Chain A
Amino acid sequence: ARPLGLSRSLHQHVSPKQTDFNVIQSKIDPLSADFAEKKKGFEVLANKLASIHEQVTDPAFIPEKIKTKHLAKNKILPRDRITALIDPGTSFVELSLLAGHEMYGKDKVPAGGIITGLGQVNGVTCMIVANDSTVKGGTYFPITVRKHLRAQEIAMQNKLPCLYLVDSGGANLPHQADVFPSHNHFGRIFFQQSRMSSAKVPQLSLVLGPCTAGGAYVPAMSDESIIVKGGGHIFLAGPPLVKAATGEIVSAEDLGGGEMHSSVSGVTDYLVESEQEGIERLRECVKNLNYPQNNGHVTYNQTPAPIEEPLYDPKELGGIVGDNLRISYDVREVIARIVDGSRFSEFKAKYGESLVCGFATIHNHKVGILANNGPLYSESSLKGAHFIQLCKQRDIPLVFLQNISGFMVGSEAERGGIAKNGAKLVNAVVGSGVERFTVVIGGSYGAGNYGMCGRAYDPRFLFTWPNSRTAVMGAEQLAQVMESVRSEKGHADALRERVEHESMAEFGSARLWDDGVIKPEDTRKYLALALEASRGGVRQKEDTDFGIWRM
């Protein structure tokens, strides 16, 4: 027998700084011609989107007549109201800026006529929903209703107090059929208000303009409401309709003005004399919600540490992804420009390599990342399902970086049970319970959209990049399929062009397939803000379990 002790090999101590095997080593050369060319292509897309966004938000694009009339009434422009409402120096995460873009022909409805977003008010992260009365009098187009409902959904899922800045003429009458009666139409707004209230999501209204008919229920169903004297009016029917219906002649102020509602009907709780005072009052009301502030992540991690920025410049992302989805790159280059210190603790690196999985932190929030590096095979699907189970057990939120042409097709894949294994991934996503965040960084095609937590899979937030494409399949393949199943020929080109157009980021974003198109370099910021909104303040852990595993 060997002498005791000699058989042991001792582990040599290393300082944590001596080796950092988690740091992603970038192989990108920003000075290369290849990079420059991809960057140039990307910038064409980005510049186009920048210009659309500018037209939506810059007050210079509000028609002069409307702007002058608005300001003459001592009213503040809608985005300036929000600036005044949120804490100075904090971010406002405006969502779905492209809503309604090129959807109503000649009618331009910038941002869908309603501004929604996340902002902090006295340290509390809130969902802010503000009618934009400079857009068609703040009336509700079909997209306006959907955007309003989406904002309420976000508030509900993330337990965010919801602040309504009401200044709307009600339903847009020419579109009444697409606005009024159906499941997710106007009535759903108040249904949601009631559901939110029962789920203890606070709601406050500041009435700055008209709230007619159904609109009257927005302040009426809020926890507290504030009304601006002379500016805000709440009534089920305005003076013209009252006259038509009953012959009564009454002024708007007497019928539903602030003075009346605050002292007679009790519909409103605070009467203010100016919009500025109303905004300060609203800030005060938020203080009195006794709602937890978003203090970074300390609610579930006790040791806040300084935040490490990525080692590589996020501005390089455009030159990495380019504008052509066919040109592949290693998705770790993207991860390296999103996560803290470019540190990525990769899971099962050698197995199912087309799906990259691993742990990282974003602004000190621990996250589990799933990112595509090719089509999904059986192995990659199983690996993803496995990884999601780990994150569920550990209460780690999931970040999906979607660039997926789909699950692998062909006889070999089918024989390998790709449908069954893909289903495991889908099942894992749905049952994961933890917060999910999706960024479409490239293609989002077919069932890949489902497996990688597309819109239908309830990610808390879904953002897309300007170069992304979302469609059931590539426009080229789709045109070919159609040509083969149809008898007549010759429509392929037109169809391909239309599908190509419909796959573009701005097309989807206009229809609320996402919560907004973001610049790749801002991805880290948006994810940090989204994580903050979802996991700070009040948080409800979803108590779900996985379904039956189909083995």
Chain B
Amino acid sequence: QSNASVQPEILKSLCVANRGEIVHRVCDTASKMGIDTTSFYTEPDGNLAFSRSANNNLNLGADTKGYLEMDKIVRLAKENGCDSIHPGYGFLSENSEFAKKVQDAGLIFVGPPAAAMEAMGSKSRSKEIMTDAGVSCVPGYHGENQDPKFLEAESEKMGFPVLIKAVLGGGGKGMRIVESKADFQKQLASAKSEAKSSFGDERVLVEKYIKRPRHVEVQVFADKFGNVVALGERDCSVQRRHQKVLEESPAPGLELYSADCRQKMYKQACDAARAVNYEGAGTVEFIFDRDSPNGQFYFMEMNTRLQVEHPVTEMVTGVDLVEWQLLIASGRPLPKTQEEIQADMDKLGVHAIEARIYCEDPFNQFMPSSGKIVHMQLPQVGNPRLDVTFEQGDTVSPLYDPMIGKLIVRGDSREEALKKLRLALNEYEIVGPTTNIEFIKRVLKHEGFRGNNPTDLDTGFIPRHGEVLFANEGTPSEVYVQAAIAQAFPKALSAPSILEAANAFSSVGTAGWSSMQTREVTFKNGKESVVVTLTQLPGTNPTEHTFAAKVGDKAIGNVTASHFNGKARFKFPTGQHVNTVVSNDSNLGNVNEVHVFHRGTHHKVELATPDWITAVNKRIGAGAAAGGSFNDPDALEVATPMPCRVVRVTVKPGDVVSKDDELLVIESMKMETTVRSAREQPTKVKRVAFVPGDLVKQGSVLIEYEE
């Protein structure tokens, strides 16, 4: 610890060079510490809450890449009297050039020294430094010696299974997993010959193969005085396409491998930080080999910034990580020693878990989603922590990251934390962009993820259990009934205006011998249609509407609909529910969508378009269904289901395309998607509506075929 008798002064004016929830997060702590705050925003973000959350909010202009404009950001920070810049995560947070520019301008960069960032920025260099510092890296032989016997000996040293990879390899070609020594030579020969024929080069490298890796990372903190501490670890193994979905601390079950497994990991993490003279907050990522008997782990890389998932660490340690970042950037020493931190963690005894809420459709290859948030209900149950970027009414733009917020809960045990997370997710309602909330609920429900010591936690979890996680669980009849009532009798579900209440026609309900009215609402369930029949029955209470409901031929009984505290209340013969139902909203990408949040599950059902409306639309030349689809084999139009930018156009009018031929490539939410022909028969392209670089609205027709 520092012996300085006079502590350096705390920063005075901080700006956050980032967007979204992290801006709120940093500004909150800075404000608590009496630091003046400044934020930046680009014009497309000008209506989001973060763009007005700081004391001073600066416009970076219309260009969506504004958050990357280093010189402008530094200049604006200086002009506005800031003395420091916090880079958040993503964008410029791990850009050593930016860190230098900040320092050169005489400002304080809230992060590690540029040299440490550089050292950790290169995978090969960082591995060398780590190996020198005694941090264990994934063993392997990457040298020129291609003698089969030598390679076999190397493999034996690192232990089977091993991975043989062609040096020039890619796409799985020339790649072999060898389970045991006996198989090695056979597999090597096969890999070499494949490499030769594929790349004209038969050189291979050998690496330790970790069959079932877990992603475990350690939060470290270092000050200017050489003190380094670890603040527990996080398990982030549940990933899709290398994007984390669930993060928790502590990593479950490490103690089952060896009593000092965690301490060993903390030590290596601190050594790693020390090796590059680290300062501030950092994360050392390890690959943890689930199948190793005593918990073998290997250094993967170091993230030289505050992480998205830092809140779980805050919950288990009781430390405000941003506060520590600002203290250290001010030149103060670490507030706590490793022993104090450990003592706090032991005392708290908390398990924390974070769910990242993304705008994407997990049930459709995680296709990115965007659009206006028509309805949003944040969970209240268990008083969870919510770090969110968007509010109801905001538009999620396809131009930026699809993460719209984070939900973090804590429990006395992992099991309790998971249960609380599930309850909170049941209350978390978003209508507009498709989110991964339902998918996360599926993960939480999965046998292999549950309990204090999950049996199946590693990075292969999602692909391995795809069949269960992505299964179509169907829509209960009760949901169709609710959607039908919302559709045919929307007034039954909202509080009547004083005028409506006074109007006998809408308030006395049905009267007479025979004034029952029956309406049918038809939904589309894949290729099938679901017909809901609602017969309005005489009511006794003017604010309740009772219907005899049928779904197909199945009688559901009498259902009473009313409004209740801004929600819809349905009394079924079996029980009653107070639910959110959203329908008929022109802000939805597809106006045929009806959303019902029923018993903690978000159901989206789609109204069928009656033939006569199709006929009218055809006659008046109204566009294709607003939803748009890439993969309707019968459609003569290929429409985009999401707003996007055209990256490349592969076909031109007159081309004949067959099934799965590439038509064009679009980009949305930082992700490229190749649009392929869904036509069963070869079909001639009639029109290509866009050229590369065009911004395309959701539902727009991209390609038209000839009939």
Contact = CB atoms under 8 A, between A and B. Distances in A.
Interface in A164-218: none
B513 A93 contact: no
B512 A296 contact: no
Contact of B612 (A56, A118, A277, A531): A277
B687 interface: no
B510 A91 contact: yes
Contact of B610 (A276, A306, A536): A276
A90 B513 contact: no
Contacts of B498: 304
Interface string B484-513: 000011111000001111111111111111
B504 A528 contact: yes
Contact of B504 (A56, A91, A276): A91
Given A273-B616, A525-B508, A529-B508, A295 B513 contact: no
Contacts of B515: 91-94
Interface in B595-631: 610, 612, 615-616, 619
Interface string B543-554: 001000000000
Given A50-B513, A522-B511, A529-B508, A296 B499 contact: yes
Interface in A278-296: 294-296
Given A88-B488, A89-B506, A89-B545, A298 B513 contact: no
Contacts of B509: 91, 525
Interface in A67-105: 80, 83-84, 86-94, 97
B502 A90 contact: no
Chain A interface category by residue count: 35 or more
B511 A297 contact: no
B616 to A, nearest CB: 6
Interface string A514-531: 001011001001101101
Contacts of B512: 93-94, 516, 518-519, 522, 526
B514 interface: yes
B542 interface: yes
Name, among B488, B490, B499, B515, the residue most crowded by chain A CB atoms within 10 Å (CB to CB).
B515
B121 to A, nearest CB: 63
B652 interface: no
Contacts of B488: 88
A120 interface: yes
**Which range holds the interface residue count of chain B?**
20 to 34
Contacts, number: 120
A88 B511 contact: no
Given A83-B518, A88-B491, A525-B511, A274 B615 contact: yes
A435 B165 CA distance: 95
B264 interface: no
A363 interface: yes
Contact of B503 (A273, A295, A516): A295
A529 B502 CA distance: 11
B59 interface: no
Most buried by A among B501, B512, B515, B517: B512
Contact of B513 (A49, A80, A83, A276): A49
Given A274-B612, A304-B498, A528-B508, A294 B503 contact: yes
A417 B510 CA distance: 47
A519 B538 CA distance: 13
B659 interface: no
A125 interface: yes
B611 to A, nearest CB: 8
Given A94-B514, A307-B501, 15 more contacts: A49-B513, A54-B514, A84-B519, A89-B491, A91-B515, A94-B512, A276-B612, A304-B499, A307-B507, A516-B512, A522-B511, A525-B504, A529-B504, A532-B504, A536-B503
8 contacts: A83-B517, A86-B517, A89-B492, A89-B536, A92-B517, A296-B499, A298-B499, A529-B505
